[in-house]
Amino acid sequence: MRTEHIIVGVALAALGALAGACGGAEAKVVEGLEGRALAALDVADAGAPSVSAPAPAGGEPAGDPAEAAGLYWSSDPEELQVYRPTAVHLKVDAFPKGRETAECRWTFGDGTPASDGCSTSHTFLSGQADEQVTLTLSDGDWSLTSTHVIPLERLPVTILGDSGAGGQDGGEAGAASFPAKPRPGPSAGRVLFVADSAATTDPQPVVASLMERLGPDLVVHVGGIVPIGGGDADWDRARDRIARPVTGAGAEMVWAMAPPDVAAGGRVRRPELTLVDGSDYPVRYAFSFKGAFFLVVAGDPERGLSEENLAWMRRRLEEAQVYESRVVVSYLPLHKFADDGAGALNMKLQVYELLLRARVTAFVSAGHRVYFKGRYGALSVVSVGALADVGGKLSGTAFAQPGSVAVMDLVAGVPERIFAVEGPEWDAPLDERYLPETVEVYTR
């Protein structure tokens, strides 16, 4: 069935434009990052202003008593960025006549402390709504108050086409379609990374849907396979509800281990593909796929990676220089992506140096149930979200991501693109424009 999807900005004004942009056609507001922010703003009950007349930045509506008295002040920039902190400089441009020596106090609608001085700066953190700023001038018994609304940037309303697996035949992908799968070849293919399937009641329909829509050649479960203290029934569930739809679709399946997975025995089947080094599968192993080298290792949030593991990684990665690219997979990242999660690898600087010297192409981790693609210093990193309806909250953000999985397309043995697919419908790419520029020590 063809479904129209509409991506909207979180600004309330964009909702007012929606009806006019879409006419009388049926439409669906996309779930996910945008939808969660809208829900957080209670827009169902909000009186959204018309998009044709947003609250002005750095200026009051006509007839404002403060302007009539000669008070003018401005903000720079005039709009707040969506889902990102915005530092705003505020200053008085003109005082009422005879009040040039008045004292200035700024108060902010985000609940932070007031600021004194007729020129000040303030950072609005959430990037989820318009923000209100009030300036009060005081001169003895005289005072004058002026309030401005600094609007969130209004993102365009875009009508998107079918968000199914369009473009997988090698043709041009539509705006909401998944990027076209690479044409099959000995050094071209699609890799799907999933994680934290223990967070969902039944992963089978999700995995089956992803296999049909994305057509991956290899599925890497990055960890979080069973809950803490998992037993035989949990491992049987993983094999039946995850591995079976993968192998049934003709794809390869490999597993990485989170600390609870290791503690529960790591009872997964060996893959059909040939391992370069599989003597300690699934705790640590290496294999090649479509011209790329993959190294998988399990660490501990307290002990990190042992010296033995580091030496093993160094040997395997030195041997892997003959491959076009090198991808390292670890459930635990080098540094946290979210305040809640499984922690990070100890000895991260030692591991970071090892990965840089080995010219690692990408370091893929999970552990915090959030998607983020960026850099840790000079190292490219990817955090894989959770195979669940709701994921985690990136550090510094106030809303939960949808669940997500990550996709890596290999062309000529090198990652050509990496993107995410968001839940709970798993039928559209995650819009990375809504991700912050920086998270902890990571940058986009």
Question: Which tens digit of pLDDT belongs to each residue from 235-252?
Answer: 999 999 999 999 999 999
pLDDT value of position 170: 40
Q: Give percent above pLDDT 70 in the chain.
A: 80
444 vs 173, higher pLDDT: 444
Mean pLDDT, rounded, for 132-143: 94
pLDDT value of position 315: 96
Task: Give residue for tokens 């790591």.
Answer: 266
Give yes or no for residue 306 having a pLDDT over 90: no
Residue 142 banded pLDDT, cuts 50, 70, 90: very high
Distance between CA 336 and CA 342 in Å, rounded?
8
pLDDT value of position 14: 35
Residue 325 banded pLDDT, cuts 50, 70, 90: very high
Length of the chain measured in residues: 444
pLDDT value of position 169: 41
Of 146, 26, 17, nearest in space to 90 by CA = 146
Which phi-psi region, left, alpha or beta, contains residue 270 (left: φ > 0; alpha: ψ -120 to 50)?
Answer: beta
| CATH 3.60.21.10 domain position(s) in the chain | 169-443
Mean pLDDT, rounded, for 139-168: 68
Give yes or no for residue 37 having a pLDDT over 50: no
pLDDT value of position 63: 53
Give yes or no for residue 41 having a pLDDT over 60: no
- pTM for the predicted model, two decimal places: 0.67
pLDDT value of position 310: 93
Structure tokens at 211: 């296999």
pLDDT value of position 58: 45
Say how far residue 194 (Cα) sits from the centre of its chain: 14
Give yes or no for residue 82 having a pLDDT over 80: no
* Helical residues (DSSP H) of 215-347, grouped into ranges: 232-238, 244-248, 259-263, 307-319
Burial of 359 per CB tally in 10 Å (0-12, 13-18, 19+): exposed
User: Do 270 and 232 meet the contact criterion of CB atoms below 8 Å apart?
Assistant: no
Bridge partners (DSSP) of residue 131 are 150
Mean pLDDT, rounded, for 77-91: 86
Contacts of 441 (CB under 8 A, 6+ apart): 335, 376
Question: Which tens digit of pLDDT belongs to each residue from 96-115?
Answer: 999 999 999 999 988 889 99
57 vs 330, higher pLDDT: 330
Three-state SS for 38? Answer: helix
Q: Give the CATH fold of the 169-443 domain.
A: Purple Acid Phosphatase; chain A, domain 2 (3.60.21)
User: Do 116 and 104 meet the contact criterion of CB atoms below 8 Å apart?
Assistant: yes
Which H or E run includes 345? none
Question: Which tens digit of pLDDT belongs to each residue from 197-235?
Answer: 998 889 999 999 999 999 999 999 999 999 988 899 999
Question: Which tens digit of pLDDT belongs to each residue from 377-420?
Answer: 999 999 999 998 889 999 988 889 999 999 999 999 999 999 99
Bridge partners (DSSP) of residue 59 are none
- Cα–Cα distances (Å) from 98 to 94, 106, 145, in that order, read 11, 21, 16
Contacts of 414 (CB under 8 A, 6+ apart): 291, 292, 324, 325, 361
Three-state SS for 79? Answer: coil
Mean pLDDT, rounded, for 263-280: 91
CB atoms within 10 A of CB 251: 19
pLDDT value of position 200: 84
Give yes or no for residue 176 having a pLDDT over 80: no
Which range (59-63, 116-120, 160-164) has the least confidence?
Answer: 160-164
Which range (20-34, 233-247, 250-264, 293-307) has the least confidence?
Answer: 20-34
How high is the mean pLDDT of the chain?
82
- Which amino acid makes up residue 287? F
Distance between CA 108 and CA 34 in Å, rounded?
24
Give yes or no for residue 428 having a pLDDT over 80: yes
pLDDT value of position 213: 94
| CATH 2.60.40.10 domain position(s) in the chain | 65-150
CATH of domain 65-150: 2.60.40.10
pLDDT value of position 305: 84
104 vs 14, higher pLDDT: 104
Of 367, 395, 362, 394, nearest in space to 378 by CA = 362
